[in-house]
């Protein structure tokens, strides 16, 4: 397996590059619900509907003060190995030996006080909002191995009244390890809640992004006035 190799000058550059790239693409990252601080280890599990999901987790982890990691399919991490520098580590689906090694490594990470191990238990990209969710059993095994708090989080990419899309993050209620049905119900509930949002009401801006043409024009008009 490929282990995470966070830190160092290259890791620092990647952290800043991902932040810049996020701000250049989105208007902001907005959170609704209680985002736990990075004082204890946890397992964070999320829906997976977009190529950007891993980078959104990176930004969310920085906003929360987490030492964030993310489980990633090995064939993809070998292709983009630099992602190990910002916390990605690998698994080979269908390979029992690889799965066990990745499980042990994730358990090792979750013994660190501020670690947040992120996983997308759907396994592949699925259209946003399609319920019920179909989760793989790995998330249940990870939770039982780590014996840490489990946090359901839903991502949604939405256009409202602005040129750039918003990233909406719905944070659910933390819970302990349990059967797969618990993870399905908990993640399905936060996906359903964020899917019903028709505005940014109730959300808090945690990472500011870029402004659009209309906002820059309004700012210029204000300066002239």
8-28 per-position pLDDT tens digit: 999 999 999 999 999 999 999
- The predicted pLDDT at position 215 comes to 67
Please report whether residue 2 resides in a domain: no
Please report whether residue 3 resides in a domain: no
Domain that holds residue 138: 8-224
SS3 of 114-148: CEEEEECCCCCCCCCCCCCCCCCCHHHHHHHHHCC
Q: Domain containing 210 — which CATH number?
A: 3.40.1130
pTM of the entire predicted model: 0.92
> Mean pLDDT in the chain?
93
Please report whether residue 220 resides in a domain: yes
Q: Are 55 and 18 in contact (CB under 8 A)?
A: yes
Please report whether residue 127 resides in a domain: yes
Would you list the DSSP string of 157-175? EE--SSSSPEEEEEE---B
Give the other-Cβ count within 10 Å of 147's Cβ: 13
- The predicted pLDDT at position 36 comes to 93
Please report whether residue 124 resides in a domain: yes
For the stretch 192-220, pLDDT in tens is: 999 999 999 999 999 999 876 666 666 66
Whether the per-residue pLDDT at 161 is higher than 90: the answer is no
Q: Which helix (H) or strand (E) holds 48?
A: none
Please count the structural domains in the chain.
Answer: 1
Please report whether residue 1 resides in a domain: no
């Amino acid at each position: 397996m490929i282990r995470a190799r966070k830190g160092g000058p290259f890791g620092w550059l990647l952290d800043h590059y991902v932040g810049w790239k996020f701000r250049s693409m989105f208007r902001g990252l907005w959170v609704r619900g209680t985002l736990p601080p990075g004082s204890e280890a946890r397992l964070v599990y999320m829906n997976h509907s977009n190529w950007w999901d891993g980078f959104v987790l990176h930004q969310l982890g920085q906003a929360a003060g987490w030492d964030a990691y993310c489980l990633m399919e090995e064939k993809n991490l070998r292709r983009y190995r630099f992602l190990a520098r910002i916390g990605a580590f690998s698994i080979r689906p269908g390979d029992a030996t690889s799965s066990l090694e990745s499980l042990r490594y994730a358990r090792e990470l979750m013994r660190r006080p501020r670690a947040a191990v992120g996983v997308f238990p759907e396994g592949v990209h699925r259209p946003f909002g399609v319920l019920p969710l179909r989760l793989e059993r790995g998330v249940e095994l990870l939770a039982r191995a780590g014996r840490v708090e489990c946090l359901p989080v839903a991502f949604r990419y939405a256009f409202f009244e602005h040129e750039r899309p918003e990233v909406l993050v719905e944070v659910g209620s933390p819970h302990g390890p349990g059967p797969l049905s618990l993870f399905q119900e908990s993640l399905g509930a936060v996906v359903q809640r964020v899917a019903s949002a028709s505005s940014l009401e109730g959300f808090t801006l945690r990472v500011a992004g870029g402004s659009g043409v209309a906002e820059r024009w309004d700012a210029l008009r204000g300066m002239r006035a």
